[in-house]
């Protein structure tokens, strides 16, 4: 038996007026997922514990069987692991987003947050800007004084590390949850260190605004990438070994550092796919191909994570979100199924959204999400479609940490 996990990040949503009361999942044409739901088990699951902010970090830990209440020490340390960074005792890691705030002469705090990703800035420009910033003499002096260094990533997401950083009481806000709001309402707060971090963010705005890349972006009608945004702080984390826990060899395919980091920390093979970007125009077919190849190469389990629906929701691109869901159906799941059927492999497949991302606000939501558990050798004939509503009529799992047990048949639905 082979096992496949497909995570469509932030696919689940609420009913929307502009879709005539339908959710994006209901509106999307997803014949493959609908067919798997009708022949498999369709239920709903809560992946985000009530006491933690909803997001992919906690949700995906749950999906991989790691209780976030026990294992979650912040998102940035998980992402740092993806970059091969091991944190020292006392290190505080942050996500350092390349964000866009209002591009005008207002005081820093009065500007509004426009985009958490500078409109999904390309990796090359993002890296060039952050490297320039941390080498700029004025910024470097301030960063050195605060013991903050940066480790650039391949998109708008970089990792910053503060040696001996004080995270006690520190409150950092995720920029994607506060779009359109004033910077001053969302700056680091809660302790002395917060002032240091806020000052670095303000300084970054002054320096980045004038960079030639941003002059060019303005001319091209793109958002200037004019502010770094620290959030997702955390200290070193350790996760249990996937293979020891489930007795299976696992691999993971994702564009985003968070998933790669969770995979790395659990000892799974992280498979890189060219052109996997985390946005709507990602290499869907490449991910499907890599998943099939991993299973043929001897892996028992492969996870494929697709970030696009979540990013489209944050960008308030409803049409893009629906398209991303359709692409997952026709360009990831369909080719994987076809290949497995051709190879006559028996398999079980779990398909789900990690958390909801709301098209109305662009923010994450921790309410239960629909899942499909399909077994190629057993047709349940339940005949339901993959929607939030229909999943509500199926089994409900209060805690996503048991999902792998169901996928691997250690637990069974009656
Ligand atoms: Zn998200």
Q: Indicate the SS3 state at residue 8.
A: strand
Q: What is residue 408's predicted lDDT score, i.e. its pLDDT?
A: 98
Q: What is residue 173's predicted lDDT score, i.e. its pLDDT?
A: 96
DSSP-derived secondary structure letter, 88:
P
CATH superfamily of the domain spanning 2-72+239-407: Alkaline Phosphatase, subunit A (3.40.720.10)
pLDDT digits (tens, 9 = 90+) for 224-234: 999 999 999 99
Q: In the structure, what pLDDT confidence band is assigned to residue 218 with cuts at 50, 70 and 90?
A: very high
Q: What is residue 282's predicted lDDT score, i.e. its pLDDT?
A: 84
Please list, in sequence order, all residues whose beta carbon lies within 8 angstroms of the beta carbon of residue 176, skipping any fewer than 6 positions away.
Answer: 116, 117, 314, 362, 363
Q: Please tell me the distance between residue 314's alpha carbon and the centre of ligand 1 in angstroms.
A: 7
CA distance 237 to 87: 9
Q: Please tell me the distance between residue 174's alpha carbon and the centre of ligand 1 in angstroms.
A: 10
Please list, in sequence order, all residues whose beta carbon lies within 8 angstroms of the beta carbon of residue 334, skipping any fewer than 6 positions away.
Answer: 32
Please list, in sequence order, all residues whose beta carbon lies within 8 angstroms of the beta carbon of residue 379, skipping any fewer than 6 positions away.
Answer: 39
Q: Please tell me the distance between residue 333's alpha carbon and the centre of ligand 1 in angstroms.
A: 21
Q: What is residue 386's predicted lDDT score, i.e. its pLDDT?
A: 98
The backbone torsions φ and ψ at residue 242, rounded to the nearest 5 degrees and listed phi first, read -60, -45
Domain limits of the chain?
Answer: 2-72+239-407, 92-234
pTM, two decimals, is 0.86
Q: Please tell me the distance between residue 376's alpha carbon and the centre of ligand 1 in angstroms.
A: 31
Q: Indicate the SS3 state at residue 219.
A: helix
Q: Please tell me the distance between residue 337's alpha carbon and the centre of ligand 1 in angstroms.
A: 27
Identify whether the C-beta of residue 304 lies closer than 8 Å to the C-beta of residue 7: yes
Identify whether the C-beta of residue 276 lies closer than 8 Å to the C-beta of residue 254: yes
CB atoms within 10 A of CB 269: 16
Phi-psi region of 14 (alpha: psi -120 to 50; beta: other; left: phi over 0): beta
pLDDT digits (tens, 9 = 90+) for 204-214: 999 999 999 99
Q: Please tell me the distance between residue 348's alpha carbon and the centre of ligand 1 in angstroms.
A: 27
């Amino acid at each position: 038996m082979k096992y496949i996990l497909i995570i469509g990040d932030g696919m689940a949503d609420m009913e929307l007026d502009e879709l005539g009361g339908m959710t994006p999942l209901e509106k999307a044409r997803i014949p493959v997922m609908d067919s798997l739901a009708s022949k498999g088990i369709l239920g709903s699951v809560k992946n985000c514990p009530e006491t933690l902010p909803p997001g992919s970090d906690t949700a995906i830990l749950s999906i991989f069987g790691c209780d976030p209440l026990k294992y979650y020490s912040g998102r940035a340390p998980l992402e740092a692991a993806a970059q091969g960074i091991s944190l020292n005792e006392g290190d505080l890691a942050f996500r350092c987003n390349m964000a866009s705030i209002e591009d005008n002469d207002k005081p820093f705090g009065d500007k509004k947050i426009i985009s958490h990703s500078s409109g999904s800035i390309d990796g090359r420009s993002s890296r060039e800007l952050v490297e320039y910033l941390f080498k700029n003499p004025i910024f470097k002096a301030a960063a050195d004084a605060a013991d903050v260094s940066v480790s650039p990533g391949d998109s708008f997401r970089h990792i910053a590390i503060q040696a001996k950083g004080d995270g006690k009481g520190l409150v950092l806000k995720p920029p994607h949850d506060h779009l359109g709001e004033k910077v001053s309402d969302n700056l680091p707060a809660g302790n002395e260190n917060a002032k240091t971090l806020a000052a670095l963010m303000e300084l970054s705005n002054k320096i980045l605004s004038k960079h030639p890349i941003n002059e060019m972006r303005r001319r091209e009608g793109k958002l200037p990438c004019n502010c770094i945004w620290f959030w997702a702080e955390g200290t070193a984390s350790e996760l249990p070994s996937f293979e020891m826990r489930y007795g299976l060899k696992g691999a993971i395919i994702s564009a985003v550092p968070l998933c790669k980091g969770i995979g790395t920390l659990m000892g799974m093979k992280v498979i890189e796919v060219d052109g996997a970007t985390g946005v709507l125009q990602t290499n869907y077919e490449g991910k499907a191909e890599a998943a099939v190849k991993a299973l043929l190469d001897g892996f028992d389990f492969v996870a494929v994570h697709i970030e696009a629906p979540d990013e489209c929701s944050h960008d308030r691109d409803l049409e893009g979100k629906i398209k991303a869901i359709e692409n997952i159906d026709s360009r990831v799941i369909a080719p994987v199924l076809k290949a497995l059927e051709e190879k006559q492999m028996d398999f079980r497949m779990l398909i789900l959204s990690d958390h909801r991302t709301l098209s109305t606000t662009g923010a994450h939501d921790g309410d239960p999400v629909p899942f499909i558990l399909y077994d190629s050798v057993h047709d349940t004939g339940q005949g339901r479609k993959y929607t939030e509503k229909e999943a509500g009529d199926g089994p409900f799992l209060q805690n996503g940490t048991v999902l792998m047990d169901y996928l691997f048949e250690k637990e069974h639905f009656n």
